[in-house]
Amino acid sequence: MKGFFVAIALAAGVAASIAGADDVANAVWSVASAVVAVELVVVTIVRLREGRVAVDVVALVALAGAIAMGEALAGAILALMVASGDALEHLGILVAADAEFPPADAHRNRSLRAHFLSSRLCSCRSS
């Protein structure tokens, strides 16, 4: 859902920029960046407390840098990368949960699987 929001914000900002409303475009991109940055701060703190250093730290530094430098479009693009990476990670967990020998940390949740996987993806899997 976060990825969809960021993609819409990115597209709306591009449309506003093309229409000559650069201030509106920068505001939309900044909001999208800020939303993802706040969530990324929370996730990074939780993971660091657990002793897990992940690529989220690098993404957070890049996103914070883009925001600090006033690069709204760059921030929105980074936010889209973070959001789409999270979506792919969740999809991977759901697919791994259905594997014959799933990883130990794969989560088995059929209702989320139904939400994320379309019937085409499900039919492509071997039984």
pLDDT tens for each residue of 10-29: 999 999 999 999 999 999 99
So what's the pLDDT on residue 123?
42
Q: Which residues of the chain have pLDDT under 70?
A: 1, 99-127
Name the maximum alpha-carbon separation found in the chain: 54
Is pTM beyond 0.75? Reply is no
* Angstrom distances, CA of residue 107 to CA of 16, 24, 113, 116: 41, 41, 10, 14
* 97 touches 109 (CB < 8 A): yes
How far apart CA 97 and CA 111 sit, in angstroms, is 12
* 64 touches 37 (CB < 8 A): yes
The secondary element (H helix, E strand) that includes residue 64 is helix 56-68
